[in-house]
Amino acid sequence: MSGQNRPCFGLSHNPIREIAMVNQKLFTMKQPELGKKISEMRKAKGLTQEELVELCNLNVRTIQRIEAGEVTPRSYTIKALFEALGIQLDEKINVPSENVSTLPESFKKLLYLCFGAGLLYMISSIVEFPMDYSIFEGNKDIDLNLYFGLKLASLIFFSGFMLAFYKIADFFNNFMLKIAAWIMILVNAAGVSVEVYFAMIEDLPNFLFIIPYVISTGAVFIIFGISFLQFKSPLKSIAVPIGVLGIVTGVLFVTVIGAVLGIITQLVFEIGLLYFLFWFVNKSGRSSSPDSSFTAELQS
C-alpha cells in the first residue's frame, strides 16, 4: 500500500488550485507557513511521512522538522519534496532566509549553559591537576573528601559540556559525534572512578590504571575528532581544524609515550571546543549574514 493514493475525506480544497497557490507564494513563503503547506499537500496525497521519505530520499527527522516549522529547508530540499508530491515548478524557488540562521531560543540557552559547564570543567581540572600528579608520584597525603568532591564536580561539568555536542550532533544528524559525546562521558566517568579508587589504595601499581585509561581516552579523542570532520559549510571552516587537533591529541595518547604532549594538545583542543560553542551560538543569531543557510545544514 506504500505510495498508493488513499481517499482523504473532509478536505474541501482543490489540489490543483492548491498547487497553483503554492507556485504563486514561493517567493514570499516563510516558516511555519511553508511547513504547514507541505504537510497539507502530503496528507492530500494520502502519504505518511515515512512514505514521503521513500519518494524524496530525505530522512524522517528532516521532514518532521520542516513540517513543524523548526527549520527552513534549502531550495533543493523543497524541490525534492515538491517533486515527490507531484508538483512541477516552473520558477526557481527562493526561500527567505531571515529565520534560517536562527536557533530556537531554548536551544541557545541550553548551549550557553553547556558553555558555562565547559568553563567550570576546565577550571576544576586545573585545580585538581596538582592532586592527580601527587597521587601518581606516590604521595597520597591528600584530603580524600576534597579530592572526591573535585572529581565529582569535574565529571558533572564535563557531562554538561559534552551535552552541547550531543545536541548539536542531533540537530545536524551527525551520528558519529552523538556516539563520541556519550563515549567521552562514559570514559571520563570510568577514569574518575578509577582515580578515586587509586587514591584510596596504597599498593595499586600505577601502570594498571594509566596505560588502559590513556589508550582508551586517545581512541575516543580520535573518534571525536573525526566526527568534527563530518560537518559541512559554514561550520566546516571552524570544525575541521578542531577535529584535526582532536585526532592529533588522540594519536598522542594512544602511543602512550606521547601522552605528556597529548595533555597540552588536549588543553588546546578543549579550548577549541569552547570557542566552537561560542561561535556556533553567536553565528546562529545573525539573521542576515552571508551564511544565512546556517541551521538549514541538515543532512538532507
Question: What is the pLDDT at residue 120?
Answer: 96
Q: Which residues contact 196 (CB under 8 A, 6 or more apart)?
A: 147, 148, 151
Question: What is the pLDDT at residue 165?
Answer: 95
Question: What is the pLDDT at residue 72?
Answer: 72
pTM: 0.63
Would you give the DSSP letter of residue 295? G
C-alpha cell at 228: 568534527
Residue 63 near residue 80, CB atoms below 8 Å? no
d(CA 106, CA 34) in angstroms, rounded, equals 22
Place of cell 570544525: 239
Residue 110 near residue 167, CB atoms below 8 Å? yes
Residue 135 near residue 144, CB atoms below 8 Å? no
**CATH dotted code for 15-84:** 1.10.260.40
Left (φ > 0), alpha (ψ -120 to 50) or beta: where does 86 sit?
Answer: left
Residue 173 near residue 61, CB atoms below 8 Å? yes
d(CA 8, CA 25) in angstroms, rounded, equals 25
d(CA 10, CA 119) in angstroms, rounded, equals 56
Please list the rounded mean pLDDT of every run of 10 residues in the chain (300 residues): 43 45 49 78 82 78 82 73 70 40 76 94 90 77 86 95 93 89 94 82 65 90 95 83 96 92 94 93 56 39
Rg (CA), the chain: 25
Would you give the DSSP letter of residue 288? S
Question: What is the pLDDT at residue 208?
Answer: 66
Domain spans of the chain?
A: 15-84, 105-284
C-alpha cell at 84: 515527490
